[in-house]
Amino acid sequence: MKDKIVLITGASSGIGRALAFSFGREGASIVICARKAEALQTVSHELRQAGITVLSLTADVSVEQDVKQLIDQTIAHFGRLDILINNAGISMRSMLIDTDPAVIQKVMDINFMGTVYATHYALPYIQQSKGSIVGISSIAGYRGLPVRSGYSASKFAMNGFLEAVRTELLHTGVHVLTACPGFTASNIRVSALDAHGQAKGETMRDESSMMSAEECADHILKAVKSRKRELILTGQGKFTVFMNKWLPGLMDTLVYNTLAKEKDSPLKSR
């Protein structure tokens, strides 16, 4: 990663923040972006304290012009771009029947269209460097999760989009990685939207035994170095993807029963 330029969206906390440190410690220069300027500045300061070169830019990935400016500013500052990590994302948690469709639209705009905008505007520079495009997806992109229909839809869309882009770029030397963490200790559950688009403000799962954001980031770094096509993390995640392919009916029941045990789950435990 020495002297590589790495752009990470949604880098003010969680996996994005951890990725900035993982790639930065390997010698990369990091561009971090997020909507929350204050949190972004805190991470920027922490990275500099660790001796990592960083450019901090405020941007909302759901706004196309923001993303175009983000790429333009990165190129103006560093002159190149080697790795784009589409990490910005938001979740939601409510039954479809109760959910305002505008909530699902917002999730799609951030998780999916944010990836589309960043990949589109970064692609000419990634092609020049024969670099990498990374999408931080989810096991929910392989197996639809109840009470998270909008989130699952956004990650299924991301997976299909990146698969299509990977195939388009097959003979260009560009690497495309779809990275799918399982349940990871991060703030995505705390900021998950409810049926009316308000942040829930608390996690509904015990995060003490989950993979840490730092461990997740280290796995993603290794996958980029080896130019892997796909990365599925955690034993539970690998089991879910495998079983959903071969025994989808059984997985309907297993997934329902597992998520019904969450704190304040609207699913009826059976």
Catalytic residue numbers, as ranges: 151
Contact in structure between 151 and 103 (CB atoms under 8 Å): no
Q: What is the DSSP string of 210-234?
A: SEEHHHHHHHHHHHHHTT-SEEE-S
Please tell me the number of Cα atoms within 13 Å of 71 on its side-chain side: 25
CA-CA distance, 215 to 15, in Å (whole number)?
9
Start-to-end CA distance of the chain, whole Å, equals 49
Tokens of residue 60, six digits: 């909302």
Residue 30 pairs in a beta bridge with: 6, 54
The residue whose two tokens read 């959910």 is 99
Radius of gyration of the chain, Cα coordinates, nearest whole angstrom: 18
Strands (E), the chain: 5-9, 29-34, 54-58, 83-86, 132-136, 175-180, 184-185, 211-212, 230-232
Rounded to 5°, angle at Cα 246 from 229 and 134: 20
